[in-house]
Amino acid sequence: MQPRSAGGWARPLLVVGVLAACAVFMFADVRVPPIVIWDESRLAVNALEMHLGGPSLVTTYGFQPDLWNTKPPLMIWLMQACIALFGPAEWAIRLPSNLAAMGVLLLVLLFTRRVTHSLGAGALAAVLLALSLGFFGEHGARTADYDALLSFFTTGYMLALFFAAHRRRPQAGLLLLAGALVAGAVMTKTIAGLVPGFGLALYLLAVNRWRRPFQSPWYAAAGAVAAAPVAAFYGLRELQAPGYLAAVWGNDVGGRFGTALDQHAGPPWYYLRTTFLAPLFSAGALALGAPLALLGARGLARQALIFALLAALGVLVPISLSSTKLPQYALPAYPFLAIATAIAAHRLWTLLEARRAAQPRSLLAARAVLAVLLVAIAAKACWFRWEYLPARQFYPQAMYGRLFERLAAQGVRNVLVVERGPPGVGFPVGYAPQLRYYALVWRGKGLSVRQALSVPPADQRRPGTVLASCDPREVRAVGALGPDLTGVAGCAAIRPGG
C-alpha cells in the first residue's frame, strides 16, 4: 500500500481544519454558560430524572409523566447516556447537540464539494452555516435543545434522497439509511422531522422525477424502516401512560399549527424577516440572490442548487403557515441556504475565472468584494457569539448552580430557595426548571434544596437551613435578613440568625 502524497493529505486536512475552526468558534468558552430556561432546562430535567430513575419510554418532570414536553425521547436518551458517562455537567448535557451540529457541517461541506467539485465551495457552505446565529445560538448547536439533532437527521435524509432520486436503480443501503434518518428525525421532534420532505416533493415535481419512488421496492422498504420504530414507540408509550397521544396532538400537531402556543405569534413573513433581514442566517439578504445562478449553472451543480432552494422553501413555507412562530423552527432550512449560497458563489467565481485573461481586474475586484463580505459576516457573527449571547446567558436565575456550589463548599447541607419562576409567560407560579435541574444535581452531592414562593416568617424557618434566592423580585427581601454568604451576582444567600 503506497503512502499518501503531500497533495493527497491536503484535502482531508483542509476539511478537518475547517471543521475544527468552526468547532472552536461555536463551542470554546472561558466560562461554560449555565443551563438556559427555554427549553434547555426542561430537557435537562427530563434527562437527569431519567438518569436517576432508569431508562424509560416515558420522560418525566417532577418524576411524573411529562405531558407538556411531548417530544419522543431520542434526545433525552442521548443526554441521559452522556450524563451516565460524564456526569450531569452542562457540557455533557449539551454534547449530543454539539456533535449533531458538527455532523451537519460535515454533511453540508461534503455535499457541496461533491456537486461543485470544489473544496473551497464546500468549505464556504460550512463556514456560512457555522457563522449563522440561528445555527449556533439559542436553541441551536450550543444548547441542549432538539433543533441541532433534528437538523442533522433532516439534512442527512434529504441529501441521501437527492442522490437516490437521480438513480434509476437506487442503492438499497442509501435508501434504508434515509429511512433510518427519517425515523431519527421524527423520534427527535415529531412532525417537524417530516416538514423538509415537502421540499423534496417540490423538487421531484420540478425535475420530473416524481415517478422514481414508485419504481423501486426499496423506497417502500425505506418507508417501513422509517415508520416501524415510530409506530412502535407511540403505541408502547400510550400503553405505559394513557393520554400521551392526545397530548401530542394538542401540543405538537393541531394545537401548535392552529393556535399560537404560549403567545409565540407573528406575521406570515416572520421567518423571511428573521432569516434574511435580522438575520439569523449569516449571508442574510445575499442568499436571496442565489437563484440567479440558475441562469448559467449546468449539470449536477444546477440540480443541487434547485434542490437546495426548494428544500429551504419546503421548510420556510409550512412553518410560516403555522400560528406558533419561534426562530428555531427555521433551523433545518439553514443547511440548504448555506449550500445554495455556496453553489451560487462558486458559479460566480467560475464565470470570473473564465474571463481572467480578458478582464483580470474584474477577478481581482471580485476577490476583494468576497473577502470584505466574509470579514463582515465573520465580524457580526463574533459580536453575536461573544457579546450578544453572553449577556443573555449569565442572568441571575441561571446562576443557581454556582450558588449551590459555593454553599456546598462552605459545608451547607440544607437550602430553602425563594423562587417564583419567570413572570408573565403563562406557566404556573413557581415553574423553575433551571432551579430544579441544579437542585437535582446537588442533591446527588449531599445538598438538600427546597423551594418556596415567598420568604417564610421567622418562626417557620428550619434551624440550620440557609435562605437563598436568585429571583430578582425576592433577592432584596432575602438579602435584608443577613450578610450574603456567596457573592454570586444577582443572588443572595443568608443564614437566618447568623
Q: Are 351 and 341 in contact (CB under 8 A)?
A: no
Is-contact 439 400, C-beta < 8 A? yes
Q: CA torsion, points 86, 91, 92, 98, in degrees to nearest 10?
A: -140
pLDDT at 444: 93
- Cell numbers representing residue 368 in the block: 476583494
The helix (H) or strand (E) run that includes residue 65 is: strand 64-65
CB 128 within 8 Å of CB 282: yes
Taking the CA atoms of the chain, what radius of gyration do you get in angstroms? 25
CA atoms within a 13 Å half-sphere pointing along the CA-CB vector of 359: 9
Cα 494 from Cα 498, distance rounded (Å):
8
d(CA 22, CA 28) in angstroms, rounded, equals: 10
Cα–Cα distance for residue pair 432/46, rounded to 1 Å: 13
- For the purposes of burial, counting CB atoms within 10 Å of the CB of 74, is it exposed (0-12), middle (13-18) or buried (19 or more)? buried
DSSP 251: I
Each of the 498 residues of the chain gets a pLDDT tens digit; together they read 445 554 568 788 999 999 999 999 999 998 899 999 888 999 999 999 999 999 999 999 999 999 888 999 999 999 999 999 999 999 999 999 999 999 999 999 999 999 999 999 999 999 999 999 999 999 999 999 999 999 999 999 999 999 999 988 899 999 999 999 999 999 999 999 999 999 999 999 999 999 989 889 999 999 999 999 999 999 999 999 888 998 888 877 765 565 555 566 788 899 999 999 988 999 999 999 999 999 877 889 999 999 999 999 999 999 999 888 889 999 999 999 999 999 999 998 888 777 776 677 777 887 788 889 999 999 999 999 999 999 888 999 999 999 999 999 999 999 999 999 987 667 889 999 999 999 999 999 999 999 999 999 887 788 889 999 999 999 999 999 999 999 999 999 999 875
pLDDT of residue 224: 98
DSSP 69: S
CA–CA distance, 22 with 18 (Å, rounded to integer): 6
Three-state DSSP state, 67: coil
- Give φ, ψ of 466 to 5 degrees: -80, 135
Per-residue confidence (pLDDT) for residue 452, from 0 to 100: 95
Which residues are paired to 65 by β-bridges?
60
Torsion of CA 126, 129, 130, 136, to 10 degrees: -150
What's the predicted TM-score (pTM) here? 0.94
For 162-199, the pLDDT digits (tens) are 999 998 889 999 999 999 999 999 999 999 999 999 99
pLDDT at 153: 98
The three cell numbers of residue 206 are 420540478
Q: In terms of C-beta distances under 8 Å and separation of at least 24 residues, what long-range contacts does 345-353 make, across chains too?
A: 345/121, 345/124, 345/370, 346/116, 346/118, 346/120, 346/121, 346/124, 346/301, 347/293, 347/296, 347/297, 347/301, 347/305, 348/293, 351/296
104 vs 112: CA distance, rounded Å: 12
pLDDT attached to residue 1: 43
| Nearest-angstrom CA–CA distance, 90 and 32 | 7
Dihedral over Cα of 232, 234, 236, 237: its sign: positive
